[in-house]
Amino acid sequence: MSWLVLFVSGVFEAVWATALGKSEGFTRLGPTVVFGVALAVSMAGLAYAMRGLPVGTAYAVWVGIGAVLTVAYSMATGEAAVSAVKLLFLGGIVACVMGLKLIG
């Protein structure tokens, strides 16, 4: 259960990171509210997952999932350029996250 909660928390990390950028310094209400809710859900899930997983592993997986999804979203929306090198490195992050799960 800890791994599932950790994965969902990583997804919410990408949501709050994206909303933070769209809030324009907390001047736009909608993205600011999304940021706050997603941040709370993400942190609560991370805290829950850390009860059953080592802190270092949980944090690394949480950040990895959030980072990959945030970059993937910005590439999908055209905010960031897509390149083979970026995809290769994102794949490396995914492989590392999977490796942490497999050895955990």
Mean pLDDT over the full length of the chain: 96
pLDDT of 103 reads: 87
Q: Look at residues 38, 31, 36 and name the one whose alpha carbon lies nearest to residue 14.
A: 38
The full set of domain ranges for the chain reads 2-103
| 44-58 pLDDT, tens digit each | 999 999 999 999 999
Query: CA separation (Å) from 57 to 35, 80, 88, 102?
Result: 25, 28, 22, 11
Phi-psi region of 31 (alpha: psi -120 to 50; beta: other; left: phi over 0): alpha
Alpha-carbon 48 to chain mean position: 16
pLDDT, average across residues 24-28:
97
Task: Tell me what percent of the residues of the chain surpass a pLDDT of 70.
Answer: 99
| 72-87 pLDDT, tens digit each | 999 999 999 999 999 9
